[in-house]
Chains A and B, each alone.
Chain A
Amino acid sequence: MTEKVLMKGNEAFAEAAMRGGCRFYFGYPITPQSEIPEYMSRELPKRGGCFVQAESELGAINMTYGAGAAGGCVFISSSSPGIALMQEGLSFMASAEVPAVILNVSRCGPGIGGIQPGQADYFQATRGGGNGDYHIPVFAPYNMQEAVNLIYEAPSLAYKWRTPVIILADGMMGQMMEPVALPPEKPALEAKDIASQADWAITGYDDRGGPQNRRVVKSLRLQPEALEEHVEHLFARYAKAAPEFTRYEAIGLEDAEIVFVAYGTIARLTLEVMDMLAEQGIKAGLIRPISLWPFPEEAFDKIGPATKVVISAELSKGQLLDDVKRAVCGRFPVELIYRTGGIIPTSLEVTEKAKAILEGLQ
């Protein structure tokens, strides 16, 4: 039986990470996720884990890289400008194939922006803010329960596929309270078992029978042919992992006049919008990407001939829209409904805008 408790989002996220086996957290305070380092500083030591308050997000991500390279199960969190600072480390980790789970409780930008919830980190998360040819899988939960489930599952996916995994949860989810079912505690990997279970981990070669089994975690490849080969290796693995990471929910696509595409908090609001439109005789469906990278393009093949328009609904100025257009691939008109700057539209506002778009097509 899973227990259901009323928790603040950020604390539920931290609890889910620990229950998923994470024992190392490196953090730096930033609104709206500071409850996470606070919670971790209290709770991790009780589970034999380790909390370090880093000197900066750069420090935090590089501690994460070190701990992940050493085979530790790491979960960290930050918010948009802090995640921007972490991009150097994320690029290194992607190349060196070092696993970790990184939660972005996102706010709005650009620059220091504001502290209200936003989704304007879509490009940052899905395109990679660091240098080079790489990708990082991104999950975007739409409510606290889904966030808890994904954070709980993410460490094993990160370990299996030797990659950082990003959870993009906007500030609304971090700050709200909701009843949530917490999953059972998974056993954590102990230091003595790392050498046998993490086949990349640097632990000192005595654990592996001698210097012939020495390990180096690196991203430097000065020979162009060697670097190209490594990039091909990374992308071959992305292709292999894609079926396991690609996730979405499709609701009522078959005879929908309008198909919304939305993730995170605005996806939750869109469910209300669909009801409001239905009351007015307009049938609307929803494609809700749960993975933003890989983007669930296959969901768009399920859109039926009744559909007149596909609408990207987002808390950013047409970032998700790019992927929606690519997935629609000219089959339907694509429109955008958005608010940015930290504003979450009301369901009535989205309903009215959707109706206006539909009328404009006729």
Chain B
Amino acid sequence: MKPVFTYTNGMLPVSTHYCPGCTHGIAHRLIMEVLEENGKLGQAIGVAPIGCSVMAHQYMNVDMCEAAHGRAPAVATGIRRVHPDKVVFTYQGDGDLASIGMSEIIAAAARGERFSTFFINNGIYGMTGGQLAPTTLIGQRATTAVEGRTKAQFGMPIKMCELLAQLECAVYVERVALNSPANIRKAKKAVQRAFAVQEQGLGFSFVEFLSTCPTNWGMTPSDALKWVDEKMIPYYPLGCLRDPEKEASK
């Protein structure tokens, strides 16, 4: 019998610490699956963040480096300069990338660093227990905004893709979601494009994954998937904002 679905060698055969219904596992799998399909697992160097995915290096079966909170793009810059021919990526959550690490991500994108950043946006601080993130939606409850986020108190959630897409050297920028099989298939295509752009040496590539956090959202996993459709996607529209192929054909 021909197997139609198997483990990827890109993931170590261990259980993860992620909560039931969390989409980190899907994002991990997509990135590692693409690296395996490209035959690049052994030439890849990943940078893990601080946050729920702090232990990504225990699951992703590639050489990895842990970074301080928010600093993954700076760490990846250093790695990239030493190994110009390897595949380098960072994996970062929304507190890590869009709050404490805003300076590092903007600067790396502006320099057009030749690595790929995979950004998990679940609108909340997961590891520390549900505090307001820069991406928390208006009205969404958090442990530091128990009545829900208001514009008056916290301002508006940050749209990272739209922000980075303004930078000339951020050549590939796409937002995807991990809440349905169809969206996951599109997400995989975005991961493939991000690595392809990196390997072609075209510049910085960025994929934002709209993700779930049922635990800190206080929802069942299935409700959380619906919530992505109903609340997140209307504010964070899916789609490709920058792609060198599309821009070349304009």
CA distance A260 to B57 in the complex (A): 52
Given A58-B71, A62-B74, verify A70-B9 contact (CB < 8 Å): no
Contact with B along A23-66 (1 / 0, CB 8 A): 01010000000000000000000000010101110111011111
In the assembled complex, which residues on chain B have CB atoms less than 8 Å from the CB atom of A220? 54-55, 66
In the assembled complex, which residues on chain B have CB atoms less than 8 Å from the CB atom of A52? 77, 81, 111
Is there a chain A Cβ closer than 8 Å to B64's Cβ? Answer: yes
Q: Is the CB of A63 within 8 A of B78?
A: yes
Is there a chain B Cβ closer than 8 Å to A9's Cβ? Answer: no
Interface contacts (Cβ under 8 Å), in number, total 142
Q: Which of B70-99 contact A (CB under 8 A)?
A: 71, 74-87
Q: Is the CB of A92 within 8 A of B68?
A: yes
In the assembled complex, which residues on chain A have CB atoms less than 8 Å from the CB atom of B61? 211, 214
Q: Which residue of A lies closest to B55 (CB)?
A: A220
Is there a chain A Cβ closer than 8 Å to B202's Cβ? Answer: no
Contact with B along A217-250 (1 / 0, CB 8 A): 1111000000000000000000000000000000
Q: Which residue of A lies closest to B113 (CB)?
A: A52
In the assembled complex, which residues on chain B have CB atoms less than 8 Å from the CB atom of A202? 45, 63-65, 79
Instruction: Please give the distance in Å from A317's CB to the nearest CB on chain B.
Output: 31
Q: Is the CB of B66 within 8 A of A211?
A: no
Which among A50, A63, A207, A214 is the interface contact of B75 at CB below 8 angstroms? Answer: A63
Contact with B along A66-93 (1 / 0, CB 8 A): 1111111010000000000000110010
Is there a chain B Cβ closer than 8 Å to A330's Cβ? Answer: no
CA distance A69 to B54 in the complex (A): 17
Is there a chain B Cβ closer than 8 Å to A309's Cβ? Answer: no
Which among A59, A194, A206, A215 is the interface contact of B103 at CB below 8 angstroms? Answer: A59
Is there a chain A Cβ closer than 8 Å to B44's Cβ? Answer: yes
Q: Is the CB of A204 within 8 A of B74?
A: no
4 more CB-based (< 8 A) A-B contacts, given A67-B78, A204-B45: A24-B78, A66-B79, A74-B78, A218-B57
